[in-house]
Structure 1
Amino acid sequence: MLIPVTLPVPVLRVLVHERFGVSEFETSLFMSVNMLGAVVAAPLVGWLADRWGQRRKIFLWTLALDAICFLSLMSPVPFSVFMGIRFIEGAAHIAALSMLLSIASTSVSAEHRGRALGLVGAGLLLGVALGAPLGGWLGRSDPLTPLLAGGVLILFTVSIAIPFLRDSDLRFESKEPASGGLLFAIREQPKLTVPLIFAFADRFTVGFYTTTFSLFLSRVYDFTPPQIGMLIAAFMLPFALLSYPFGWLSERTSRVGLLAAGSLLYGLGTASLVFWSPGQLPYVMAAIGISAAVMFVPTMVLTTEYASEDLRSTALSGFNAAGSLGFIVGPVVGGLVSQSFGHEGDWLAGYRAAFGVAGGFEIALVLFVLPFLRNAKKPNI
């Protein structure tokens, strides 16, 4: 399901910058505008799922819309229309993802929720990991081929989900209107804000990897799309493969401790990224991927624990919305900082400043936000 997310990343410069003749900043917006759609759609879809209860239907219809949008991005349209389609694609994608996570979180007992979310997360992240090298390989001769492959793959996922995906009919009376469901959940449990903030920060930095990092590699080191794809995969593969083991571990140890350790290492690795040589980058990216796996599932588990049962879809949709907002801001900040500090053609200085901002933000959250959860009374938190 998430393979299409990173399919365009290795060909981003050709797909957007050269195809439409737009600036570096506008190129970065391609990986942000879909997340703007996600921020708008996710809380509304989560509220609808908690009220209507038909999560399977929402998943299938929004996933089909995602496929249509992906294929429509191949059309010869103006840049503004192209970005409008991307906005709708992001809304459809995050709606489907939120429903899948919600179904997974309620399909098992609370004691096994870490493993369930870890297993689903591993599958999703493995798709992200495979998407980058596959996109680089497919886009060698035509940057539109990854879009075609993404649309076809999503349609195939829909065809598989129709006979096999099952869900219970969970439906609750509305306590708040759609616009206030997430705020109501936060008022019920203020600690819910902490995993939401970390969801924002994590996707904020991922936005740097999918745009700023890709542009950095192609501009400074003249990397080809397949080379960029392989480096993204070096980050995503350990991230995906270790999500289930760390999900299992989160059931047996402090989730806040895992979140703190993983986030700190992740921030340090991100901040130092530009200082490594091209030959060292695959190993550094793998290490950063491992640290990302340490913190990923605990953040989701904390979200489900702090939300009441009748607001769980809303909370998970809020989790995805916060992450999507981070993904919007990440490429924008990365583009602005790298362009501002990379004056007079010194792009290396610009990228050094950009990744310093991304990694420093993650470290700051560990130091100043996590202590709020340390005071929680709940066991194993």
Structure 2
Amino acid sequence: MSDRRARVVLALVVFSVLLAQVLLYPGVDRLVGALGATTDLDASMWFLAAEFAAFVLFAGVWGAASDAAGRRVPFIVAGAVAGALGYAALAVLPRAFAPSFEAVLLLRALQGAATIAPFSLAMTALMELGGGHGRNMGAAGIAIGSGTALGAPLGGQLYGVSPFLPLWVAAASLLLAGGLALFVGEPSPARGGPHGDEGGARRRDSLREVLAGLRRTPALGVPYAFGFVDRLTAGFFALVGTLYFRTAFEATPATTGLLLGAFFVPFALLQYPLGVLSDRVGRTAPIVAGSALYGVGVMLVGVAPTVPLVAVAMVAVGVLGALMAPATMALVTDLAGAGERGTAMGGFNVFGSVGFLVGIVGGGTAADAFGFGTAFLLAGVLELLLALATLPFLLGLEVDRRALFAR
């Protein structure tokens, strides 16, 4: 398969995984209630956190395993199928056996442990294609944005039918991801794929390898830090933003899905062109400018007094997110060695998943203790401070520009 076709198919895999994930967000309070929870904020927080805790624990496991085996596709397919079964089990088992909510959370964690495989490894496979790292990560970004852009409003509509229907559609979406992956050939050694890494077969302890890779290439700490904070704000919106819209404006799941979509649509549409732009102008300006202004936008969402103004602020945040996201992912590719990209991207997803987890738990805790307004302020300030603190490091990074256009 040509790089162009492989890029499209892998992007569709990423799209399908993100669609499945985000379908649950707009009415998560209704879903956890149907699954036996007795609270809204706390139960929603732990339901979302269980999945991302599993992401943290298993992203590196899948990455190191695929590096060691020298193959991506079998792991993508296995994770997608297992994740689909996990979503289906969430829809069936609680109604059939009425387990405790703690047991539901365990099942959710198992589903998350499987779901991270197709997401992380499809992005790794994209990294290994020719055509420029910004172009490839732009394709990943537009897939992420498109999946979330469609998932939020679609999930809101599905909740209007049944709180369990989003789970069934999520399962079908993951099965689609697994089927698509079967059409992707493995990267060749000439393209820097896993087969060309003789040391990869020796790397089996994933978390240890992520940390070892960070020690070998300390500069990876910069995109990892941005991945952490950017995903923190995503986790914040998934929980705090959703419940804020539902309570402050009495929004239905359908309206909440549309407000989330106001962010994700521009985020999706602009990922690819802005990823290509980062190939031409470098990574520093898109990352720093995008992150700083993104933090301001997050704060504006929390103070917008009406739904239309909230929607405008969400669109602005989506545009800024599209500016920084592909550049940040491409920076991981720029800095990682060809034989370590699976572990490097696994590490990026570990830090990102920790960020999402902190955004859920920390954002939920802050909103419960101090109110929604203060929680939005804290999230925005954190993003802004990171952009300012890392500017000297970004300016000091010397990235081989030829690697950006390697074919």
TM-score of the aligned structures, taking structure 2 as reference length: 0.88
> Are 1:259 and 2:294 matched, yes or no?
no
C-alpha distance in 2 between matches for 1:97 and 1:193: 21
Alignment match, 1:224? 252
Preserved contact between residue 31 and residue 327 of structure 1 (Cα < 8 Å): no
Preserved contact between residue 201 and residue 326 of structure 1 (Cα < 8 Å): yes
> Are 1:367 and 2:367 matched, yes or no?
no
- CA 1:116 to 1:139, structure 2 compared with 1: closer, same or farther past 3 Å? same
Alignment match, 1:376? 397
User: Which of 188, 193, 196 pairs up with 2:221?
Assistant: 193
C-alpha distance in 2 between matches for 1:377 and 1:233: 37
C-alpha distance in 2 between matches for 1:88 and 1:21: 19
C-alpha distance in 1 between matches for 2:232 and 2:317: 15
Deviation digits for residues 194-225 of structure 1, max 9, x if unmatched?
Answer: 10011010110001111101111111111001
> Are 1:41 and 2:62 matched, yes or no?
no
C-alpha distance in 2 between matches for 1:18 and 1:218: 17
> Are 1:139 and 2:159 matched, yes or no?
yes
- Greater shift in the superposed pair: 175-184 or 332-341: 175-184
> Are 1:156 and 2:194 matched, yes or no?
no
Alignment match, 2:269? 241
User: Which of 342, 347, 364 pairs up with 1:335?
Assistant: 364
User: Which of 318, 326, 329 pairs up with 1:297?
Assistant: 326
Amino acid aligned to 1:54:
R
- Greater shift in the superposed pair: 195-204 or 12-21: 12-21
User: Which of 90, 93, 102 pairs up with 1:73?
Assistant: 90
Corresponding residue pairs, total: 370
Amino acid aligned to 1:20:
G
> Are 1:351 and 2:380 matched, yes or no?
no
- Greater shift in the superposed pair: 370-379 or 297-306: 370-379
C-alpha distance in 1 between matches for 2:180 and 2:112: 21
> Are 1:83 and 2:105 matched, yes or no?
yes
> Are 1:93 and 2:109 matched, yes or no?
no
Amino acid aligned to 2:118:
A
Preserved contact between residue 133 and residue 232 of structure 1 (Cα < 8 Å): yes
Deviation at 1:96, TM superposition (A): 1.3
Preserved contact between residue 194 and residue 370 of structure 1 (Cα < 8 Å): no
Deviation digits for residues 257-304 of structure 1, max 9, x if unmatched?
Answer: 110011011100102212112121111111100000000001111111
C-alpha distance in 1 between matches for 2:380 and 2:254: 26
- Greater shift in the superposed pair: 14-23 or 140-149: 14-23
Amino acid aligned to 1:206:
A
What is the SS of the residue equivalent to 1:280?
helix
- CA 1:176 to 1:156, structure 2 compared with 1: closer, same or farther past 3 Å? closer
C-alpha distance in 2 between matches for 1:240 and 1:160: 20
Alignment match, 2:129? 107
Alignment match, 1:166? 185
C-alpha distance in 2 between matches for 1:281 and 1:52: 47
Deviation digits for residues 67-121 of structure 1, max 9, x if unmatched?
Answer: 0101111121321121111111212121211110111111115xx1211111122
What is the SS of the residue equivalent to 1:222?
coil
C-alpha distance in 2 between matches for 1:299 and 1:233: 22
- CA 1:167 to 1:188, structure 2 compared with 1: closer, same or farther past 3 Å? same
Preserved contact between residue 133 and residue 334 of structure 2 (Cα < 8 Å): no
- Greater shift in the superposed pair: 73-82 or 135-144: 73-82
What is the SS of the residue equivalent to 1:279?
helix
Preserved contact between residue 60 and residue 96 of structure 1 (Cα < 8 Å): yes
> Are 1:287 and 2:308 matched, yes or no?
no
What is the SS of the residue equivalent to 2:163?
coil
Alignment match, 1:118? 138
Deviation at 1:17, TM superposition (A): 4.0
Deviation at 1:161, TM superposition (A): 2.7
C-alpha distance in 2 between matches for 1:241 and 1:141: 29
Unpaired segments of 5 or more residues in structure 1? 342-349
Preserved contact between residue 181 and residue 311 of structure 1 (Cα < 8 Å): no
Amino acid aligned to 1:272:
L
What is the SS of the residue equivalent to 1:141?
coil
C-alpha distance in 2 between matches for 1:353 and 1:321: 27
Deviation digits for residues 314-365 of structure 1, max 9, x if unmatched?
Answer: 0001111111111111111111111111xxxxxxxx0001111111110010
- CA 1:270 to 1:166, structure 2 compared with 1: closer, same or farther past 3 Å? same
Preserved contact between residue 185 and residue 315 of structure 1 (Cα < 8 Å): yes
Deviation at 1:26, TM superposition (A): 2.6
TM-score of the aligned structures, taking structure 1 as reference length: 0.93
Amino acid aligned to 1:359:
G
What is the SS of the residue equivalent to 2:280?
coil
C-alpha distance in 1 between matches for 2:224 and 2:240: 23
Deviation at 1:168, TM superposition (A): 2.4
What is the SS of the residue equivalent to 1:243?
helix
C-alpha distance in 1 between matches for 2:90 and 2:157: 19
Amino acid aligned to 2:76:
F
Identical amino acids, percent of aligned pairs: 32
Alignment match, 2:24? 8
C-alpha distance in 2 between matches for 1:37 and 1:260: 30
Preserved contact between residue 65 and residue 204 of structure 2 (Cα < 8 Å): no
Deviation digits for residues 118-151 of structure 1, max 9, x if unmatched?
Answer: 1122123201110011011111031111111111
